[in-house]
Amino acid sequence: MNRVKTFKTILWAITGLAVAFGAARMIFGLGAVSNLSDATPWGIWKGLNVVPGIALAAGGFVVTAVIYIMRREEFHRYAKITVLLAFLGYITAATALVAELGLPWMVWHPIIYWQHHSALFEVSWCVMLYLTVLFLEFLPTPLESTGSLAAIRRFLTKYKLVLVFLGVMISTLHQSSLGTMFLITPDKLHGLWYSSLLPILFFVSAVAVGPLMLILAVLTISALYRKPIETDILAKLAGASAIVLGLFGLIRLIDLAANGKLGLAFDGSGSAVVFLIEFTIGVLLPVAILSVKRLRRSQAGLWVAAIAGVMGIGLHRANIAGIQLVHTGPTYVPTIYEIGISLGIISAAILAFLFCVERFRMWETPWEDPRQAPEAAPEFDRVADVWLGTPRIAGRTVYSLVFIVALAAGLAIVSTDRIESSGIKEVRAVPARGGDTLFVDGNLDGYGVSFAHKAHVDREGGNASCSRCHHMSLPHDQQSGCATCHSGMYTAADVFRHDWHAGPDGGNLTCNMCHATDRERSAESAKTCDECHKDLIPTNAQITVKQYMAPSYTDAMHGVCIQCHEQKAQQLAGKESLARCATCHGQRQTEYLPAGVYEQFRDTSFNRVITPPMATGGQSDGKDAE
């Protein structure tokens, strides 16, 4: 087998595995294949495919702008390739995004439900619009060989400039708004990466790395298909890229220095090392190589510079999108399935890329002579090989075989344990722990809210305030923890427990103690709770209880907390932000809890001693029912 075949066979195998893992993800949910959780909602798909992928796709608008707007004709031969790269880059990102969405079938929501305060809203619109533009920019290429749709091709070619302008505009918006998105992470992202200039840095790095990615693609094609390339043209592109890359490095350094954060790079921490590596391979190395004319014009120089630049900027994005973000939950390590899907999406994109390169005239001159096309010259495999047909047909046979075997293997590998345990689990809420300040973290995922219980009680008027929140309690108790009744973290729970009341292991009451004998047994005919439980609901409770399904812990918390915070936000001067999510969720747990307290409470099980059943046999009040 030749290089191309071997390369494609490997790619097909990875794609096959990924399709199997992807199917498991779609059918059984995220938990079946990934280690993503509420604490780590962004994993390798965002960190590898989406955020870096978009940067690498930037060549699409940079190079087209150079060709069509600056009218640099010498680069014209790479126009189609660069558009194709961008198109596939964006599809890669979009596919990974859909794989990662908790409810992927709702991906269209931003089209209808507008949230114009959100940077993500801008990002998603730009992605959708730009994908459309790229599709239209690319469409004329496959249409070249078909006569029938020539009208469409002519139309699109005629208005190419409009598309290019649109592309540049949307990309500029989009590349920078991707950076804007991370502005909300000032206390989550490591200081070496967080900057108020992130939107600018994202844009500049995209402009720098886009052409490098194109160069890498061109070099790869030339190596795979033994195509001649014009290093002098590539050198010009690379030179321009190096200037922008240098600018990017300069902005970063000045920004770090201006904010007094440059020292962080040399404090010897893991992050500092990562930063130095990233800066060296992403900026210093490519700039150094490309600034030497002789190296710039050599294939080896271009190879090293392009790979370094692409990897360096890719790492930069990955750092921002995940690696250097502070995690509160358990450490996240991607599963082999996540890695498989991630690589599979990339493999599929490369296959699509190679397909286009082989079938369409992606860059004019070399394809002028059909004999140069790889499948044109019939080639006979060695004697020992089985004759599977002409290379193209033989290829198809081999690839489909590899794909199907990999798919089957993938399905076999997907862990059944994981799938079984991935169903919607009942998460039982656990009462808050702490002293005067409670740490409310019902599902013990480390992500919770510090609630200054005492401060709230004092503010609300001491003892009279209790019923404002503690609207119902267990029998013989006051101010029961909310988790005892709101016991499902995300699901409602039955507080009354009808069968428990009547069962011998529970209340051990006979039916007639609650239900009148002469009437049909129903809610209306039953005794009310307070006929037996005088203390269940405090007299001045603010929440009226009409039925006994207690909403989830999360809803109970939000119901009580947000309702009052909304009121107070309007009443109190200077407290407008009380009802914002960040007022409760934005604080770090350590701010309120002394060091070590959280760890100490995290694993202690909560044992509430319920006062034993009503005096004699638990039925003393029951006699009223007769």
Residues of this chain, 546-565, that bind ligand HEC according to CB under 6 A: 546-548, 550-551, 554, 556-562, 564-565
What residue type is 516 in one-letter code? A
User: How many residues interact with ligand HEC (rule CB under 6 A)?
Assistant: 92
Return the residue of 115, 196, 397, 479 that touches ligand HEC, per CB under 6 A. Answer: 479
Side-chain half-sphere of 34: how many Cα atoms within 13 Å?
28
Q: Which range touches ligand HEC (CB under 6 A), out of 15-23, 53-61, 89-97, 538-546?
A: 538-546
| Interatomic CA distance for residues 181 and 154, integer angstroms | 39
Do 491 and 443 form a contact (C-beta atoms < 8 A)? no
Query: Residue 570 CB, nearest distance to ligand HEC (Å)?
Result: 11
Contact 424, 490 (CB under 8 A): no
> Residue 153 or 558: which CB sits closer to ligand HEC?
558
245 Rama sector, left if φ>0, alpha if ψ -120 to 50, beta otherwise: alpha
Q: How far is the CB of 415 from ligand HEC (least distance, A)?
A: 25
Pull the structure tokens for residue 112: 């209808």
Q: Per CB under 6 A, which region of 307-315, 359-367, 389-397, 445-453 contacts ligand HEC?
A: 445-453
Residue 5 engages ligand HEC in binding (rule: CB under 6 A): no
Q: Should residue 76 be labelled a site residue for ligand HEC when binding is judged by CB under 6 A?
A: no
Residue 441 lies near ligand HEC (rule: CB under 6 A): yes
Instruction: Check residue 583 for interaction with ligand HEC (CB under 6 A).
Output: yes
CA dist 454 and 441 (Å) reads 18
Indicate if the alpha-carbon torsion angle 234, 218, 131, 71 is positive or negative.
positive
Cβ count near 604 (within 10 Å): 9
Hey, what's the torsion of the CAs at 153, 154, 158, 164, to 10 degrees? 10
Name which position in 29, 239, 374, 475 contacts ligand HEC (CB under 6 A).
475
427, 567 in Cβ contact below 8 A?
no
Amino acid identity for residue 119 in this structure: A
Residue 396's contacts (CB-CB under 8 Å, 6 or more residues apart) are none
Residue number with CB closer to ligand HEC (239 or 551): 551
Question: In Å, what is the CA distance from 40 to each residue of 30, 320, 325, 523?
Answer: 12, 14, 10, 45
User: Cβ-closest residue to ligand HEC?
Assistant: 559
Residues in contact with ligand HEC, shown as a per-residue x/- string from 372 to 391 under the rule CB under 6 A: --------------------
Q: Of 30, 240, 532, 593, which one interacts with ligand HEC (CB under 6 A)? A: 532
Is residue 160 close enough to count as binding ligand HEC by CB under 6 A? Answer: no
Residue whose CB is less far from ligand HEC, 280 or 554: 554
What are 267's two structure tokens?
């404090």
State which of positions 114-153 bind ligand HEC (CB under 6 A): none
Minimum CB distance to ligand HEC smaller for 172 or for 508: 508
> Does 184 interact with ligand HEC (rule: CB under 6 A)?
no
CA–CA gap between residue 66 and residue 79 (Å, rounded): 10
297 versus 456: smaller Cβ distance to ligand HEC: 456
Ranges within 391-430 binding ligand HEC (CB under 6 A): none
Q: How far apart are CA 528 and CA 299, in angstroms?
A: 86
Q: Among 529, 541, 589, 597, indicate the residue that binds ligand HEC (CB under 6 A).
A: 529
Complex with ligand HEC: residue 166 or 579, whichever CB lies closer: 579
Q: Which of residues 268-287 bind ligand HEC (CB under 6 A)?
A: none
Tokens at residue 153, please?
């091709």
Query: Which one of the spans 76-84, 97-105, 123-131, 517-525 is the region binding ligand HEC (CB under 6 A)?
Result: 517-525
**Phi-psi sector, 479: left (phi>0), alpha (psi -120 to 50), beta:** left
Contacts of 549 (CB under 8 A, 6+ apart): 492, 493, 494, 495
Q: Which is nearer to ligand HEC, 400 or 540 (CB)?
A: 540
543 is an interface residue for ligand HEC by CB under 6 A: yes
492-511 residues in contact with ligand HEC (CB under 6 A) are: 495-498, 500-502, 507, 509, 511
Structure tokens at 207: 């402009």
Q: Does 568 bind ligand HEC (CB under 6 A)?
A: yes
597, 443 Cβ separation under 8 angstroms: no
Question: Site residues for ligand HEC, window 321-380 (CB under 6 A)?
Answer: none
Residue in 54, 215, 526, 593 binding ligand HEC, rule: CB under 6 A: 526
Instruction: Give 45 or 451: the residue with its C-beta nearer to ligand HEC.
Output: 451
Q: Which of 177, 324, 443, 487 binds ligand HEC (CB under 6 A)?
A: 443
Among 5, 76, 109, 515, binds ligand HEC (CB under 6 A): 515
Q: Which of 58, 74, 76 is nearest to 362 (CA)?
A: 76
Cβ atoms of 360 and 63 within 8 Å: the answer is no
Closer by beta carbon to ligand HEC, 211 or else 481: 481
Residue 400 in tokens: 């489909």
Q: Please give the Cα distance from 225 to 222 (Å, whole number).
A: 5
Which of 130, 432, 434, 552 lies at the binding interface for ligand HEC (CB under 6 A)? Answer: 432
Q: Considering the rule CB under 6 A, would residue 206 count as an interface residue with ligand HEC?
A: no
Q: Which residue has the tokens 């006051």?
A: 478
Report in angstroms how near the CB of residue 420 gets to ligand HEC at its nearest.
22
